[in-house]
Structure 1
Amino acid sequence: MRLIKSALLSASAVIMASTAAGAATSTDVLDNYGDIALAIYEDSLASAKDLKSAIDGLVANPSEETLAAARQAWLASRNPYQQSEVYRFGNAIVDDWEGKVNAWPLDEGMIDYTDASYGVESEENPYYAANVIANPTFTAAGETIDATVITAELLADQLQEAGEVEANVATGYHAIEFLLWGQDLNGTDAGAGTRPATDFDPANCTGGNCERRIQYLQAATDLLISDLEDMVANWKDGGDARKELADKGEAGGVATILTGMGSLSYGELAGERMKLGLMLNDPEEEHDCFSDNTHMSHYYDVVGINNVFHGGYTRIDGTEVSGASLKELIAAKDPAVAEELEAKLAASLAAFEAVNTRAETVEAYDQMIGEGNAEGNAVVQAAIDALIDQTASIQRAVKVLELEDIAFEGSDSLDNPSAVFQ
């Protein structure tokens, strides 16, 4: 329960955050929005560096204890990062970059060994079972890849989305997650991945190619840190993300905030990450599928939406970043709509707290979405419904602020369910 307790305290602090006295201006709100982004990415970078330290400890002394410490560091690193996802969809710099660090789902056979049930080929993906860790050179789609030394450059420049196949995820949190946990072969039964620490022990190697697995894990972690450093720089004063936001003008900047809130709420989280998996009863469609951390990743997405509405963020050291809020802008135009949206955001947060409680006391998220699990399905559906409901209120806020119509991201799972099964 430790992770959930800290999460709830964080969310509570965000909701309670106060802003400076006096009427907020759009410029004030946008400045604070940028400050929150910077703080979140700085925390994401700091926690990625902690992850690197834990992975270095695993490599130096491979054991179940050091592997558990590396896994715990990975879990902790997800909490600040997921709060940044509300900056997607409206900020092109974030969207163009995001796939480097958080792309999913991935065809894990491109990276490392897999269970026989995974298969050895795919019509859609020539890299499906390339197994870079086992093969210093290999040929796929008519191209010979020299992977003699596994470097960050190899992962980023040659393997990430190789062959223009999105499932070829070679970098970021989920590639690291797969290396730390291995495949989750439990379907919708209990259990996460169970990769042994000896997969990283050249002296007692299981899984083969332990030195190369270590190379891959360290290269992917170094690359994650480098990518996060780039995004921190983008949100510093004078950074490209700040400039891009300012160039949109006040109305365009506020529209960017609402675009991120609405698109993450509706098409991305309610649709692609939740409703699709629920419709298919498919654990492969859960976000953190190797570690069974999906409930926490979803929860922190919702916390992130609350952050930008309330104009506050609780840093990993417990300090607060707070200032002028979107809530104040809306309330100045129509207090009832501001109150309505605040209530809807609180309701969605409560729905995801219920998902968390079930995940920690009854069953993991992949079990909740399993076929025939009426109670678990209902808990997930309630969270989806809360997101859809709050999106309608976000749309009302757009109208109250007299912004041009904003197109939120959609999802076939919500807008055209029959297409999912075609």
Structure 2
Amino acid sequence: MKITTRIPITLLSLFVVAGCGEAGGLEAFSNAQLTAVKQRYASVVYSSYKDSLDKATALKSAIDAFLAAPSAAGLDAAKAAWLDARTPYGQTEVYRFYGGPIDDDKGPEGQINAWPMDENYIDYVEGKPDAGIINNPTQYPTIDKATLVKLNEAGGTSETAISTGYHAIEFLLWGQDLSATGPGARSYEDYLTTQDATAPNGDRRAAYLAAVGALLVDDLQSLVDAWAEGADNYRTTFVALPPHVALNRMLTGMGVLSKGELAGQRISVALQTKDQEDEHSCFSDNTHNDIILNATGVENVYLGRWASETGDSLSMLVARLDPALDERIRHELAASITAAKAIPAPFDAAIADDSKRPLIQATVDALQKQADSIVDVAALFGNENLNTDIDD
């Protein structure tokens, strides 16, 4: 159920090789037309990562201001900045699953958005007041970015020993979610070092929050750099790819996020277990928005859209080759977003409520349906073997 899933090399090779024998319907287009679609995709990726970086930088500023003078208002401002930062990033997860900069062997995805996490790896939880890196100065005397990177996933030995990323920040802001109807309720006084402190090691907790916020900015900057125009980077490599290879990568991200990841690991697993620990943003109760944003990201790629701007797109190609398929997938993408918006908040309460669970299942069904149509698009372009599942 871990969000840092990577596509095995053998499976990734299948995505590429399957389209190498023939370009299918792509022969109907000029090289200039296909290059324009690749360039537009690269522009969308860059813009969305740049917006994510800008919001993360604002989050870091809010964190720094809070830590300089801890207060309830300062903590609320940092929480608001975290929620704001999730909006662009949630729409970028569709760029995963094909070995791009986010999740190749050196990609930062595991440091940015890994979950689920054992929160007691970082800090205290109910019944374990001395748990976590923060409360163990003997073993972890220094808390800085390098230390947190080294400790993430316990050096690669535990997928839930998460020490970095959005969800580490989320936990440090909200604290453990012990409510059935609301988010975590960490006090700003956890960050005090005076007798008013509600937990020991407030100075180390502050150092941790500052370091993990700064690391998030660093990691997002690396993605912006990878997709920047006019550089010797991944973007240049991507735009130079044969069209069928580049389009397969785009469709792989769309298909795997739709079915294997979002419909499967992020929603269906939580529906099956009814366990709060299986929801994405469990400390802030922001999971319902995560789902909407992920689904929106898939639609963005198909339409060549970021914010209010659109351009040359997969949709334009499909509409020329098979107008009915284009109309169908457009409808299905919109239907998935509509279904996601109907999921009641908080998600952890909804998965345990028999009257609300059908609304969540409807989103799963819609996402799986659109994934099937994404497979049809791949076939239209000459790839009969697009895989939309996650190989555990």
TM-score (norm 1): 0.81
Question: How far did 1:130 drift?
Answer: 5.5
- Which residue is equivalent to 2:68? 60
- Which residue is equivalent to 1:228? 220
AA at the equivalent of 2:215:
L
Question: How far did 1:368 drift?
Answer: 0.5
**Correspondence for 1:387 among 360, 367, 373:** 367
Question: How far did 1:137 drift?
Answer: 2.5
Determine if the alignment matches structure 1 residue 170 to structure 2 residue 150: no
- Which residue is equivalent to 1:44? 52
Question: How far did 1:411 drift?
Answer: 7.3
Change (3 A) 1:409 1:97: farther
- Which residue is equivalent to 1:419? none
Question: How far did 1:56 drift?
Answer: 1.4
Q: Is the 8 A contact 2:42 2:227 kept in 1?
A: yes
- Which residue is equivalent to 2:6? none
Distance across 1 between alignment mates of 2:33 and 2:64: 47
Identity fraction in percent: 40
Distance across 2 between alignment mates of 1:378 and 1:388: 15
Question: How far did 1:344 drift?
Answer: 0.6
**Correspondence for 1:74 among 82, 90, 106:** 82
- Which residue is equivalent to 1:215? 207
Question: How far did 1:60 drift?
Answer: 1.8
Determine if the alignment matches structure 1 residue 265 to structure 2 residue 258: yes
- Which residue is equivalent to 2:126? 115
Question: How far did 1:404 drift?
Answer: 4.7
**Correspondence for 1:198 among 173, 189, 193:** 189
Distance across 2 between alignment mates of 1:349 and 1:107: 30
Q: Is the 8 A contact 1:268 1:411 kept in 2?
A: no
Determine if the alignment matches structure 1 residue 353 to structure 2 residue 353: no
- Which residue is equivalent to 1:251? 244
Question: How far did 1:321 drift?
Answer: 3.7
Question: How far did 1:409 drift?
Answer: 2.5
Note the alpha carbon deviations across 1:107-139, whole angstroms, 9 max, x for none. Answer: 1111111111xx69xxxxxxxx8511111132x
Question: How far did 1:403 drift?
Answer: 2.4
Distance across 2 between alignment mates of 1:209 and 1:287: 28
- Which residue is equivalent to 1:336? 324
Q: Is the 8 A contact 1:199 1:206 kept in 2?
A: yes
**Deviation larger for 93-102 or 295-304:** 93-102
Question: How far did 1:349 drift?
Answer: 1.1
Distance across 1 between alignment mates of 2:148 and 2:172: 14
Distance across 2 between alignment mates of 1:94 and 1:166: 18
Distance across 1 between alignment mates of 2:156 and 2:319: 49
Change (3 A) 1:85 1:239: farther
- Which residue is equivalent to 1:369? 351
Change (3 A) 1:163 1:402: closer
- Which residue is equivalent to 2:138? 137
Q: Is the 8 A contact 2:263 2:367 kept in 1?
A: yes
Distance across 2 between alignment mates of 1:239 and 1:312: 25
Distance across 2 between alignment mates of 1:40 and 1:308: 11
Distance across 2 between alignment mates of 1:303 and 1:283: 24
Distance across 2 between alignment mates of 1:130 and 1:321: 47
SS in 1 for 2:342: helix
Across the two proteins, how many residue pairs are aligned to each other? 358
Note the alpha carbon deviations across 1:2-52, whole angstroms, 9 max, x for none. Answer: xxxxxxxxxxxxxxxxxxxx9982211110000011101111110011111
Distance across 1 between alignment mates of 2:368 and 2:152: 36
Question: How far did 1:163 drift?
Answer: 5.0
- Which residue is equivalent to 1:294? 287
Change (3 A) 1:111 1:385: same
Unpaired stretches in structure 1, ≥5 consecutive residues: 1-21, 121-128, 139-146, 315-319, 413-422
Unpaired stretches in structure 2, ≥5 consecutive residues: 1-28
AA at the equivalent of 2:172:
L
Give RMSD over aligned pairs: 1.8
Note the alpha carbon deviations across 1:345-392, whole angstroms, 9 max, x for none. Answer: 11111101212xx32xxxx1100001xx22210110011110011111
Distance across 2 between alignment mates of 1:163 and 1:53: 30
SS in 2 for 1:92: coil
AA at the equivalent of 1:389:
K
Note the alpha carbon deviations across 1:269-306, whole angstroms, 9 max, x for none. Answer: 00000000101111110000000000011110011011
SS in 2 for 1:135: coil
Distance across 1 between alignment mates of 2:370 and 2:278: 23
Q: Is the 8 A contact 2:39 2:239 kept in 1?
A: no
Q: Is the 8 A contact 1:91 1:245 kept in 2?
A: no
Note the alpha carbon deviations across 1:137-183, whole angstroms, 9 max, x for none. Answer: 32xxxxxxxx2120000001234443521111111000000000010
Distance across 2 between alignment mates of 1:272 and 1:134: 32
Q: Is the 8 A contact 2:42 2:239 kept in 1?
A: no
**Deviation larger for 244-253 or 376-385:** 244-253
